[in-house]
Amino acid sequence: MSLHPYAGKLAPKEMLINVPEYISAYYMKEPSVENSTERVSFGTSGHRGSSVKRSFNEAHILAVTQAVCDYRKDAGIDGTLFMGMDTHPLSYPAQLTALQVLAANGVEVCYAKDDGFTPTPVISHAILTHNSEGSALCDGIVITPSHNPPSDGGFKYNPPHGGPADTDVTDIIEARANAYLENGLGDVSKVPLDEIGVMPNIKQYDFVTPYVEDLQNVIDMDVIAESQIRIGADAMGGSGLEYYPAIKKRYGLNMEVFHNTLDSTFSFMHCDKDGKIRMDCSSPYAMAGLVALKEDFDIAFGNDTDFDRHGIVTKSVGLMNPNHYLSVAIAYLSSNRSQWSADLGIGKTLVSSSMIDRVAADMNRQVIEVPVGFKWFVDGLVKGTILFGGEESAGASFLRKDGTTWSTDKDGMIMNLLAAEITAKTKRDPGEHYLDMTEKFGAPIYARIDAPATPEQKAILKKLSPEDVKEQTLAGEPIEAILTNAPGNGAAIGGLKVVAQNGWFALRPSGTEDIYKIYAESFIDEMHLVRIQEEAKAMVSKLF
Residues 201-232: tens digit of each pLDDT:
999 999 999 999 999 999 999 999 999 999 99
SS3 177: helix
Which has the closest alpha carbon to 407: 335, 486, 415, 87? 415
Confidence (pLDDT) at 135? 80
Low-confidence ranges of the chain (pLDDT < 70): 1, 512
CATH architecture of 445-543: 2-Layer Sandwich (3.30)
Other beta carbons within 10 angstroms of residue 501's beta carbon come to: 12
- Out of 55, 124, 146, 393, pick the active-site residue: 146
Q: Are 238 and 307 in contact (CB under 8 A)?
A: yes
Confidence (pLDDT) at 1? 56
Residues 73-109: tens digit of each pLDDT:
999 999 999 999 999 999 999 999 999 999 999 999 9
pTM for the full predicted model:
0.96
Which has the closest alpha carbon to 322: 353, 300, 298? 353
**Domain 16-208 identical in fold to domain 225-441:** yes
Nearest 5°: the CA angle 188, 189, 190 is 120
Which has the closest alpha carbon to 239: 418, 117, 405, 379? 117
Residues 6+ apart with CB under 8 A from 297: 230, 231, 232, 256, 313, 315
Q: How many distinct helices (H) and strands (E) make up the chain?
A: 16, 23
Q: What residue type is 54 in one-letter code?
A: R
Concerning whether 334 is annotated as a catalytic residue, the answer is no
**In Å, what is the CA distance from 530 to each residue of 352, 459, 510, 536?**
18, 26, 22, 10
**Sequence ranges of the domains in the chain:** 16-208, 225-441, 445-543
Helix, strand, coil in percent for the chain, rounding step 5: 40, 20, 40
Other beta carbons within 10 angstroms of residue 5's beta carbon come to: 9
Backbone angles phi, psi at 23, to 5 degrees: -70, -40
Region 16-208: CATH code: 3.40.120.10
The CATH fold of domain 225-441? Alpha-D-Glucose-1,6-Bisphosphate; Chain A, domain 3 (3.40.120)
Backbone angles phi, psi at 335, to 5 degrees: -100, -10
Confidence (pLDDT) at 512? 64
Other beta carbons within 10 angstroms of residue 281's beta carbon come to: 27
Other beta carbons within 10 angstroms of residue 272's beta carbon come to: 25
Backbone angles phi, psi at 17, to 5 degrees: -75, 155
